[in-house]
Amino acid sequence: MTPTARQSSFALCIIAWFALLLQLNLSVGMTAASGKPALMGIVIYLGYFTVLTNLFVALALLLPLVAPDSTIGRFAARPMVQGCAVTSILVVGIVYHLLLRHVWAPQGMQWIADMLLHYVMPILFFLHWLLVLPSHRLPWWAPLVWCLYPVGYLAYALLRGEVLQSYPYPFIDVLAIGYGQALLNALGLLVCFVVLGLILVAVSNARARRTG
């Protein structure tokens, strides 16, 4: 890892972990204020694709920094893993901006957490991937492998929803729209994920050709 990449990773790590810890504190605080146990706040917090993906990105930044020679550090630094992380975090920002930002109006510290998780981290991590990390050739089928992450999340969110009778996003809210529409919505988002992944693969390969 170059000095520039280390500095960029370190700076993004600070932002990512601050945003995640801030949102965790807010989630636990909101559930406590409503008379529910703090554990429920953690359960709610871990139900969101936004939170899990920002955690994914935070680990993808942190592990190569603190354990570059370890198995997990080398795994996190792999271009396939970084590519999955950048595709996923961009989907977080795009989907939030297009589908979810009008659903609520966060204020104060919640607005700060909202901006960091949905806008600042997607933009900065994409720029880090594009401008700072070394370019690598990626196979065209990489987005199909990356799909395992959102598909796994969908299975988790639906199972969690069955248990809690609560779903994190309106477009997969089975109680409100039924399984058919929820799965159809999820399929549409998955197609968008693959298309975005293919675009990023093309960008990465073009960079690799120029520098190689």
Cβ proximity of 95 and 189 under 8 Å: yes
Count of CB atoms within 10 A of residue 54's CB? 27
As a whole number of Å, the end-to-end CA separation of the chain is 18
Of 74, 77, 20, nearest in space to 48 by CA: 20
Q: How far apart are CA 144 and CA 90, in angstroms?
A: 16
Question: Model-level pTM greater than 0.85?
Answer: yes
Residue with tokens 């080398």: 74
Residue 9: Cβ within 10 Å count? 23
Per-residue model confidence as pLDDT tens for the chain (212 residues): 789 999 999 999 999 999 999 999 999 999 999 888 989 999 999 999 999 999 999 999 999 999 999 999 999 999 999 999 999 999 999 999 999 999 889 999 999 999 999 999 999 999 999 999 988 999 999 999 999 999 999 999 999 999 999 999 999 999 999 999 999 999 999 999 999 999 999 999 999 998 76
- Eight-state DSSP code of residue 70: S
Cα 59 to Cα 17: distance, rounded to the nearest angstrom = 9
Q: How far apart are CA 65 and CA 60, in angstroms?
A: 9
| Domain locations along the chain | 3-211
Q: What are 58's two structure tokens?
A: 């935070």
